[in-house]
């Protein structure tokens, strides 16, 4: 039997590390570029759930590309978003209060690295998505691993392994370079697939001699 009492305490403790992320010119520019890239590879008029939406600054960008938008965030960011009329709701992206397969596209920009367990997050997003996931991740080549509320700034190979374990297939991948020509972000479009089958293969049957 699993006892989640300690887990709840740990999550309460980690929630104190969450800090507001006001909209800024740099993030807006990169978000605009990533959403434009997504629009060239995905069908039009999808419903989008922006997990870790902050103040909801991506709403206007998605609407401009013809997508339907809803976002979720925590703390002060959500308060600001609601005050500015954004369609953003208070919710933890690891514990979504949505039914299975209710969203066409789950969009995560600079949020998965904040998760206490990216694998759990990817599984939860797979549950609510009908088909697609788009993930924009900070590259440790530029941002460096670690930092406040950044427990998982991982390298590409680590993310690819987690996507596979969670049942996500990479459809498109791109690396965004910054002004210094270093890799700043990893961009991924994924579709739902089966999780790996780790069961052993059936034993080989030897041919019977005549």
Q: What is the pLDDT of residues 64-97, one digit of tens each?
A: 999 999 999 999 999 999 999 999 999 999 999 9
**In this predicted structure, what is the pLDDT of residue 18?**
87
Percent of the chain with pLDDT over 70: 98
> What CA–CA distance (Å, rounded) separates 123 from 165?
9
| The overall pTM is greater than 0.85 | yes
Which tokens hold the place of 171?
A: 């459809």
Beta carbons of 70 and 49 less than 8 angstroms apart: yes
Bridge partners of 103?
Answer: 129
Q: What are 177-201's pLDDT values in tens digits?
A: 988 889 999 999 999 999 999 888 8
Mind listing the domains of the chain with CATH numbers?
25-192 (3.40.50.150)
- Averaged pLDDT, 166-177: 97
Bridge partners of 132?
Answer: 105, 191
């Amino acid at each position: 039997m699993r006892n989640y009492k300690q887990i709840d305490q740990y999550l309460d403790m980690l929630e104190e590390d969450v800090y507001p992320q006001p909209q800024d010119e740099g993030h807006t520019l990169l978000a605009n570029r990533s959403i434009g890239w997504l629009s060239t590879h995905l069908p039009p008029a999808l419903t989008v759930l922006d997990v870790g939406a902050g103040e909801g600054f991506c709403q206007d960008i998605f609407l401009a590309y013809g997508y339907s938008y809803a976002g979720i965030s925590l703390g002060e960011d959500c308060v600001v978003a609601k005050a500015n009329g954004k369609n953003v709701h208070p919710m933890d992206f690891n514990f979504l209060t949505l039914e299975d397969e209710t969203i066409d596209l789950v969009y995560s920009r600079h949020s998965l690295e904040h998760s206490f367990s990216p694998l759990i997050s990817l599984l939860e997003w797979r549950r609510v998505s009908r088909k697609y996931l788009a993930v924009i991740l900070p590259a440790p080549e530029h941002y460096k691993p670690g930092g406040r509320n950044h427990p998982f700034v991982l390298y590409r190979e680590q993310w690819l392994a987690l996507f596979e374990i969670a049942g996500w297939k990479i459809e498109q991948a791109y690396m965004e370079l910054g002004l210094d020509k270093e890799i700043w972000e990893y961009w991924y479009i994924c579709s739902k697939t089966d999780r790996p089958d780790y069961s052993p293969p059936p034993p080989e049957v030897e041919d019977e001699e005549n």
